[in-house]
């Protein structure tokens, strides 16, 4: 990510159409890509290349990393008892051409219209602590200001979007891929929990890239937790 020329930020509407989520099974966490709630003609799981998983970490509730090593397979697996799990994923370069969308950099296709490099990160919370009211990374991240695990269907949750450790204003936030608004001057937004089970709340930004391999970089951050 750092290699890319980052010159400006653009609040970005949701053009991504795939979910990234972490499921807990016994004593391990599994990273999935696809559609958590598939509609007709959508697949729930989309197989990815294990190399797409850049980071998959187990953290304590104070944000300290316990384990970084994960099973580099499809799907990627992380063992341990974690309060928070973080994953960073990249599906690589995408280029829109006159012949359709290609999973290649701009300089490797003919007739490129626009191209981007896609990064997606997911933060799953399984145990809450006050330390989680602050961002854990310098990347784009959604932070909850209250314990999301105590919420019930119908409750609203106040979230803050951070980037490089600072609140990000006017950035769109989606619940289950449905945009519900943009953040205020303090980076805050309220989101209502609509159903039980695994929650996915996401936001995304677009940054200018080098223009050779990609015109811009799209970074998506997802906050995930279970409501019982």
Partner 1 sequence: MVKKVLVSVLLLSGFSFAHHGVAALGAAGLEGPGAPLETSSSATLPEGSWLFYAKLDHVKWKKYSFQDFPDQKDSYDFWMYGIGYGVKPWLSLYLFVPYYVKKELKSINGGPTQGQYSYTNSDFADISLMAVLGFKYDKGFKLVPKKESLDDLMDWHFTVYGGVSLPTGNPNKYDRTRDPKGEFEPDMSTGFGKPAITLGFTATKQLISFPKLTFVFDAKYIKFFEHTYNFKEAPDSPRKKYKFGDEFRLNTALAYRFYTNVEKKFRADALLETNFQYNQRDKEDSVKLEGSGGKILYGVVGTRLYYKNISIGAGIKVPVWKNLNEESQQQGGEGKERYRFVLTISTLF
The window from 27-35, 106-114, 180-188, 216-224 that contacts partner 1 (CB under 8 A) reads: 180-188
The window from 107-115, 128-136, 185-193, 206-214 that contacts partner 1 (CB under 8 A) reads: 185-193
Is the Cβ–Cβ distance between 159 and 223 less than 8 Å?
yes
- Residue 38: how many CA atoms within 13 Å on its side-chain side? 10
Name the minimum Å distance from CB 184 to partner 1.
4
Tokens of 158: 């106040």
Interface residue with partner 1, options 192, 197, 211, 212 (CB under 8 A):
192
Interface residue with partner 1, options 7, 49, 73, 190 (CB under 8 A):
190
Interface residue with partner 1, options 55, 107, 114, 184 (CB under 8 A):
184
Closest among 3, 12, 5 to 120, alpha carbons compared: 12
Q: Please spell the DSSP secondary structure of the chain, one letter per residue.
A: -TTS----EEE-------EEEEEEETTEEEEEEE-SS--TT--SB----GGGEEEEEEE-TTS-EEE---B-SSS-EEES--SEEEEEEEEEEEEEETTEEESS-GGGSSSEEEEEEEEEEEEEESS--GGGGS-SSSSSEEEESS-GGG--TT-EEEEEEEETTEE--S-EEEETTEEEEE--TTSEEEEE--SSEEEEEEEEEEEE--SSS-SEEEEEEEEEEEE-
Residue 156 touches partner 1, criterion: CB under 8 A: yes
The window from 30-38, 42-50, 65-73, 187-195 that contacts partner 1 (CB under 8 A) reads: 187-195
Name the minimum Å distance from CB 190 to partner 1.
5
Residue 154 touches partner 1, criterion: CB under 8 A: yes
The window from 19-27, 38-46, 47-55, 178-186 that contacts partner 1 (CB under 8 A) reads: 178-186
Of residues 73 and 190, the one with the C-beta less far from partner 1? 190
Of residues 172 and 217, the one with the C-beta less far from partner 1? 172
Name the minimum Å distance from CB 187 to partner 1.
11
Residue 17 touches partner 1, criterion: CB under 8 A: no
Of residues 7 and 179, the one with the C-beta less far from partner 1? 179
d(CA 221, CA 159) in angstroms, rounded, equals 13
Interface residue with partner 1, options 83, 121, 144, 183 (CB under 8 A):
183
Contact residues toward partner 1 (CB under 8 A) are: 154, 156, 173, 175, 179-185, 189-192
């Amino acid at each position: 990510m750092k290699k890319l020329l980052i010159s400006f930020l653009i609040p970005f509407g949701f053009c991504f159409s795939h979910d990234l989520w972490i499921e807990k099974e016994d004593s391990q966490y599994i990273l999935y890509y696809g559609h958590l709630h598939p509609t007709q003609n959508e697949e729930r799981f989309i197989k990815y290349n294990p190399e797409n998983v850049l980071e998959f970490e187990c953290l304590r509730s104070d944000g300290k990393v316990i384990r970084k090593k994960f099973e580099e397979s499809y799907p990627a697996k992380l063992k341990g008892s974690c309060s928070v799990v973080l994953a960073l994923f990249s599906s690589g370069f995408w280029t829109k051409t006159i012949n359709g969308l290609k999973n290649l950099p701009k300089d490797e296709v003919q007739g490129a219209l626009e191209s981007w490099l896609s990064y997606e990160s997911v933060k799953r919370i399984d145990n809450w602590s006050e330390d989680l009211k602050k961002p854990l990374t310098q990347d784009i991240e959604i932070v909850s200001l209250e314990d999301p695990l105590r919420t019930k269907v119908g409750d609203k949750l106040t979230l803050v979007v951070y980037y490089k450790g600072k609140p990000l204003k006017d950035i769109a936030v989606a619940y289950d891929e449905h945009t519900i608004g943009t953040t205020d001057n303090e980076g805050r937004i309220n989101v209502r929990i609509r159903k039980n089970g695994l929650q996915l709340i996401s936001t995304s930004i677009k940054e200018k890239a080098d223009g050779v391999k990609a015109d811009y970089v799209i970074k998506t951050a997802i906050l995930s937790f279970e409501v019982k």
